[in-house]
């Protein structure tokens, strides 16, 4: 897909992987809808950087709130007239063995990482189905392919994201849908240990450009493309 003038909506784009992807999409000439949940200042910083390059938009989004999802999608469409690419990036984690996780921690991970992603996709699809070319990039994880001690609920959500991606690709053959699977990445979620998030952002953008020649529904394992 050619990214110039495409409209890209990225959930959780005020920091980390989402931030880096937003800036890189803007550099490719895309109009970027930058979203934030709890930290408006960080969202504003990313928006300003993107908007210097290409017309962008800043909007609040809580993927755990259906009203927030609906309002976000409607405002982006009102602003740009379309949503060509959805990057479902928002995510949270609890680094605890399952017996140590409380109900709030379990619910927060499931509602953000999986249910929120599914509902965000549901809200965007009516607009995408009217277009000739559109794409959904779901940020899953290496922890959605291999179990990791201390990440039981997180792994469950990311395995779920990959299953959702694969099934949706079968149901919606006109829309390109991919799971991008980062390994350990240096963001707030990992106490800034791991790969540079900009490298993950580059893989997300290359996925949107269909550089990797992967069939819709497939996995884009970041570690295969960043050495």
Identify the CA nearest to 153 among candidates 198, 222, 185, 106.
106
Non-local (6+) Cβ contacts of 107 within 8 A are none
CA torsion through residues 89, 224, 83, 176, sign? negative
Integer CA distances (angstroms), 180 to 55, 72, 90, 218, in order: 26, 23, 13, 9
Which residue in the list 154, 178, 212, 225 is annotated as catalytic? 154
Residue 171 is inside which H or E element, if any?
Answer: helix 152-171
Is residue 4 classed as helix, strand or coil in its secondary structure? coil
DSSP for 179-215 reads EEE--SBSSGGGTS-SB-HHHHHHHHHHHHTTTT-PP
Catalytic status, residue 212: no
Residue 178 is inside which H or E element, if any?
Answer: strand 176-181
Residues serving a catalytic function are 154
């Amino acid at each position: 897909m050619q990214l110039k003038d495409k409209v890209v909506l990225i959930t959780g784009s005020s920091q980390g992987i989402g931030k880096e992807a937003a800036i890189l999409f803007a550099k490719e000439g895309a109009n970027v809808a930058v979203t934030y949940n709890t930290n408006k200042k960080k969202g504003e910083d990313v928006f300003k950087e993107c908007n210097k390059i290409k017309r962008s938009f800043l909007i609040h989004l809580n993927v755990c709130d259906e009203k927030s999802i609906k309002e976000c999608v409607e405002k982006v469409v009102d602003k740009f007239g379309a949503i060509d690419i959805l990057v479902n990036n928002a995510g949270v984690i609890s680094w605890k063995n399952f017996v140590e996780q409380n109900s709030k921690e379990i619910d927060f991970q499931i509602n953000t990482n999986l249910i929120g992603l599914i509902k965000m996709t549901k809200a965007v699809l009516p607009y995408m189905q009217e277009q000739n070319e559109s794409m959904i990039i779901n940020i899953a994880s290496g922890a959605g392919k291999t179990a990791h001690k201390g990440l039981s609920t997180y792994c469950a959500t990311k395995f779920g994201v990959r299953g959702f991606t694969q099934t949706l690709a079968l149901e919606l053959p006109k829309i390109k849908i991919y799971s991008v699977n980062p390994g350990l990445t240096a963001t707030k979620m990992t106490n800034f240990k791991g790969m540079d998030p900009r490298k993950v952002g580059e893989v997300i953008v290359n996925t949107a450009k269909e550089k990797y020649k992967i069939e819709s529904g497939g996995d884009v394992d970041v570690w295969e493309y960043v050495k």
